[in-house]
A = this chain, B = another copy of it.
Amino acid sequence: MAEQHVYTFGNGIAEGNASMKNILGGKGANLAEMTNIGIPVPPGFTLSANTCVYFYQHQDQYPEGLSEQVQEALNKTENIMGRRFGDPENPLLFSVRSGARVSMPGMMDTVLNLGLNDDTIKGIIKQSGNERFAYDSYRRFIQMYGNVVMGIDGEKLEILLEKAKEKKGVKLDTELDALDLKELVGLLKERIQELTGSPFPEDPKAQLWGAISAVFKSWNNQRAITYRRLNNIPDHWGTAVNVQVMVFGNMGDDCATGVAFTRDPSTGENYFFGEFLVNAQGEDVVAGIRTPQPINNVGKTDDSLPSLEEVMPDLYRQLVEIYQKLEHHYRDMQDLEFTIEKGKLWLLQTRNGKRTSKASIKIAVDMVQEGLIDKKEAVLRIDPQQLDQLLHPMLDPDAPRNTLAKGLPASPGAACGEVVFSADEAEDINEEGKPVILVRVETSPEDIHGMNASRGILTARGGMTSHAAVVARGMGKCCVAGCGDIRVDYGAEFFKVGDTIVKKGDIITLDGSTGQVFLGTIPTIEPALTGEFGTFMEWVDEFRRLQVRTNADTPHDSTVARNFGAEGIGLCRTEHMFFEEDRIMAVREMILADNLSGREKALAKILPMQKSDFLGIFTAMNGLPVTIRLLDPPLHEFLPHTDQELKALAQSMGVPFETLKERTAALHEFNPMLGHRGCRLGISYPEIYAMQTQAIIEAACELVKEKQLDIIPEIMVPLVADVKELKILKEKIITICDETISRYGITLKYMIGTMIELPRAAITADEIAKEAEFFSFGTNDLTQTTFGLSRDDAGKFLKDYIDQGIFARDPFVTIDIDGVGALVEMGVSKGRQARPDLKVGICGEHGGEPASVEFCHRAGLNYVSCSPYRVPIARLAAAQAALKE
């Protein structure tokens, strides 16, 4: 017996069901499912995706038995409808649509009104009593078929329609009458014969096979291939083909068509929500030419537009029953399409409805409370990335907009303000109380105060993990990075996009969630966390095993993160504090001193300031662990970049400019990423780490002694490549800590651990764990070194890599499991081998990215650490990872 290739549905009986998406595609499986549960669905049949696979594997041949199975299915459908395909008296028309395992909206082809020819048109006229409707359907079919199946450029047929209107002196298609359209049908067919050398097929069966073959082939059209690549959909899946009886909402006033959501997709409120039009086709509702009417009275806002509830109360009641049945059946909010043909209601589609983040949460929480789903399902249902929307301002979706350029969506949220080009200006204008957008070619640590004073940041260079992106995410500010379209001219104080010039003081709006840049002000909507959000996050924490900490460098960020549920600080970068105005001078003095005593003098000035930072952070994190990383970036990062600034510095330091210039030049590095940084600084200049240790431990001691706080400091040594580095530094740190603790006369437990951010550290983790009490994987740097890829430079060619399918995703955004992940696993396993109770976390940008969080859970890490605004995302991703096990 031949394999089953064709699955019928109709009249309450279907050969498939919702679980058969792999065979029937999403659309086909849902049509079958709806049929089975008694929903009125226009009958038809689905050709399986396997048929498509066979088609590709056998040079566009169909499998054996297919034509018989199609014929049988056709017969069954004809019997259900009591009409026949190609019957001039009472013909059936079909739609032929693609339907892959997952939705690929608009990527593949569709043919509607299939079965029309010069004979069957008569039957349609008879059925509909509407000649104009019939000829309009016919000419649409010819155009669509000519384009999709016969491969004719759509423009070449559309022009005949234009000519017909011209000839008649009208502007709208609707102004053409049945006769005009009939004439057009003839002209279209002639033109097709001219263009292809063959007549338009009159035989409905030939039409059907042509359409099936065209849909199969559209699986491999260029836009479908690109879409699959972008969405990680395997090429070998293939698409199913759905052949379904056409029903028409535009045959007269007893016809209608509409779309509806079983709950409000924007707020999640539990009421039936939708729109419809009388005597219309599906696309008319969406196209916005006629104003759609509300589906029910609850949704009414305008009294002049009667609702379906009012105009067709019986059909409305049927629809309500159906939506309730569907929502209960699918246990999720549904997005429905329906058509009323001559007083009969048909459901054309149901699927889980798209919704805003806010609605997602509300619907999930409500459904648990309604007993429709359990907490576990609620938690699994929310895409962690969606939470971002809840935590940041967003553009008013209804506001008009004028897109200027597009960069990377580097930090979510939306903001508008005056354009400025320097951090100092940002601060000045912010102080005047005006919102500011800082525009830079790229940012550096020197710009932090300006970023802080801005509503949003726009950079021309840099990727998703560039300085601007990382810092902005940490601050919860919106950022569009790597916007290659803009050309910044600092000197003339403008930027250019094509020919558009945006000057200092002009207003722009950024959408950091999409990477778009707009001219002028677009209103934004502030986020408001609802009670449902709190309830939902409580459930999340019930399932979660991985801890979530935050990366925070200030008391303010620490408090924000704690409010978002952070269970400690996983990464406190001491260097960000160095840039603050009151201390950068002392830091520069320290760096430019050419001897130990000079450095020690400058460090003595920095000590009390560093200590005060830690007092604030420790207080905010009272009772929770705080991991503090000792100085990491190369010293030259703290120096001025231009001669002018350097001259000012020389003057204020009372040192000749030439000396400073020479010392700065000596600090220059070819590859600063691989240079004199991290613990290498601690080895060369032990006095720097000594000062920082002193500041950390004195702050902790003081709070324990004077305020009886519970301080849990974890001192972290960065960029260790060899255990000996850690051993040498650890001894020095312990000496200072123990001496200080005993001076305060208190007891205080502290830990000393290390970043694992170099391949060599992961490879020799067993040795390193002999000295380290904890590991924190710095997967930003680990990704850079494992790939030999600078995240600041990768932007230039990352696109080539994504386009050619080499990287499925930017490895700086989602952890590369095969390479970097293998090193993380090696590090964990070797580390725990040497020290079974080793605490292991991750503090790279990956710590807040759901797929990476799932990896961390599987790899057995104790915690992830991420920027404050990503803490809820990481919590949810961690819970889902636990539930998926």
- The reply to whether B672 and A670 form a contact with Cβ atoms under 8 Å apart is yes
Chain B residues with Cβ below 8 Å from A722 are 806-807, 819
Closest 3 CB pairs of A and B: A674-B790, A760-B819, A671-B790
Stretch of A3-11, A108-116, A156-164, A792-800 with 4 or more beta carbons under 8 angstroms from chain B: A792-800
Q: Which of A121-129, A331-339, A675-683, A701-709 contacts B (4 or more CB under 8 A)?
A: A675-683
Taken together as a complex, chains A and B put the C-alpha atoms of A721 and B796 apart, in Å, by 17
**Interface pair A724/B805, CB less than 8 Å apart:** yes
The residue that A758 contacts in the complex, of B672, B788, B793, B794, with Cβ under 8 A, is B788
Contacts of A170 in B (CB 8 A): none
A806 to B820, CA, bound (A): 26
A728: chain B residues within 8 A (beta carbon):
804, 806
Known contacts A673-B671, A763-B822; A758 and B784 CB within 8 A of each other: no
Task: For A674, give its contact among B671, B683, B684 (CB under 8 Å).
Answer: B671
Q: Do A823 and B788 form a contact, CB below 8 Å, given A672-B671, A675-B793, A797-B683?
A: no
Of all chain B residues, which has the CB nearest A819? B760
In the assembled complex, the CB of A793 is this many whole angstroms from the nearest CB of chain B, namely 4
CB distance from A723 to the nearest CB of B (A): 9
| B792 & A671 in contact (Cβ 8 Å cutoff) | yes
Q: In the complex, which residues of chain B have a beta carbon less than 8 angstroms from the beta carbon of A818?
A: 760, 763-764, 767
CB pair A806 B671 closer than 8 Å: no
CB contact under 8 A between A760 and B786, given known A680-B797, A797-B684: yes
In the complex, A789 has a CB within 8 A of chain B: yes
Report A776 CB to chain B, min CB distance, Å: 16
Bound CA–CA A759/B800 (angstroms): 22
Q: How far is the CA of A150 from the CA of B729 in the complex (A)?
A: 36
Binding site for B on A (CB under 8 A): 669-676, 680, 683-684, 719, 721-722, 724-725, 728, 757-760, 763-764, 767, 781, 784-790, 792-794, 796-797, 800-801, 804-807, 816, 818-820, 822-823
Chain B residues with CB below 8 A from A819, complex form: 721-722, 759-760, 763-764
Q: Are A793 and B725 CB-contacts (below 8 A) given A759-B759, A806-B683? A: no
Q: What are 19 A-B pairs with beta-carbon distances under 8 A?
A: A669-B792, A670-B790, A670-B792, A671-B790, A671-B792, A674-B674, A674-B793, A683-B804, A683-B806, A719-B788, A722-B806, A722-B819, A728-B806, A757-B788, A759-B786, A759-B819, A760-B786, A763-B786, A764-B819
Report Cα–Cα, A797/B684, bound state, in Å: 7
**Bound CA–CA A758/B724 (angstroms):** 24
Find chain B residues with CB under 8 A from A804 CB. Answer: 683, 724, 728
CB distance from A772 to the nearest CB of B (A): 16
How many angstroms from the CA of A672 to the CA of B804 in the assembled complex? 23
Give the number of copies in the complex.
Answer: 2
Question: Is A806 touching B725 in the complex (CB atoms < 8 A)?
Answer: yes
Q: A787 to chain B: closest CB distance in Å?
A: 5
A759 contacts B797, CB within 8 Å?
A: no
A806 proximity list for chain B (CB < 8 A): 683, 722, 724-725, 728
A792 proximity list for chain B (CB < 8 A): 669-671
Verify A793–B759 contact, CB threshold 8 A.
no
Provide the residues of chain B in CB contact with A781, threshold 8 Å.
788
Specify the chain B residue showing the minimal Cβ separation from A803.
B683
Per the bound structure, the CA–CA distance linking A781 and B757 in Å amounts to 17
What chain B residues lie within 8 Å of A785 (beta carbons)?
Answer: 674, 759, 785-786, 788
A676 in contact with B725 given A785-B786, A788-B719 (CB within 8 Å): no
In Å, the complex CA distance between A805 and B723 comes to 11
In the bound complex, residues from chain B placing their C-beta under 8 Å from that of A760 are 786-788, 816, 818-820
Given contacts A676-B797, A767-B818, 4 further A-B contacts (CB under 8 A): A675-B794, A675-B796, A680-B801, A760-B818
Which residues of chain B come closer than 8 Å to A670, judged between CB atoms?
Answer: 672-673, 790, 792-793
Per the bound structure, the CA–CA distance linking A722 and B819 in Å amounts to 9
Chain B residue nearest to A669 (CB atoms) is B793
Taking CB as reference atom, which chain B residue is nearest A674?
B790
How distant is the Cα of A800 from the Cα of B676 in the complex, in angstroms?
11
Among residues of B, the one whose C-beta sits closest to the C-beta of A784 is B674
* CB nearest to A821 among chain B residues: B763
* Contact A796 B674, CB 8 Å, known A721-B819, A806-B683, A806-B722: no
Within the complex, the shortest CB–CB distance from A761 to chain B, in Å, comes to: 9
> Is A823 within 8 A of B763, CB to CB?
yes
Cross-chain contact A675 with B790 (CB below 8 angstroms) = yes
Separation of A757 and B790 alpha carbons in the complex (Å): 15
Q: How far is the CB of A305 from chain B (nearest CB, A)?
A: 55
Write the nearest CB–CB distance from A588 to chain B, whole angstroms: 19
**Shortest distance from the beta carbon of A445 to any chain B beta carbon, whole Å:** 13
Interface centre among A671, A676, A792 (most CB of B within 10 A): A671
Nearest-neighbour CB distance to chain B for A516, whole angstroms, equals: 23
User: Which of chain B's residues have a CB closer than 8 A to the CB of A721?
Assistant: 787-789, 819
Cα-based distance from A724 to B788 in the complex (angstroms): 16
- Which residues of chain B come closer than 8 Å to A675, judged between CB atoms? 790, 793-794, 796
**Which chain B positions have C-beta within 8 A of A801?**
680, 683
CB distance from A264 to the nearest CB of B (A): 44
**In contact, A759 and B674 (Cβ under 8 angstroms):** no
Of A683, A719, A788, A820, most B-chain CB atoms within 10 Å: A788
| Given the contacts A670-B673, A760-B786, A684 and B800 also touching, CB distance less than 8 Å | yes
Alpha-carbon gap, A816 to B683, bound state (A)? 20
Q: Are A786 and B758 in contact (CB under 8 A)?
A: yes
Alpha-carbon distance between A675 and B784 when the two chains are bound, in angstroms: 10
Question: Taking the nearest CB of chain B, how far is it from the CB of A485, in angstroms?
Answer: 14
CB distance from A668 to the nearest CB of B (A): 9
Contact A793 B724 (CB under 8 A): no
Complex: A199 Cα to B767 Cα, angstroms: 53
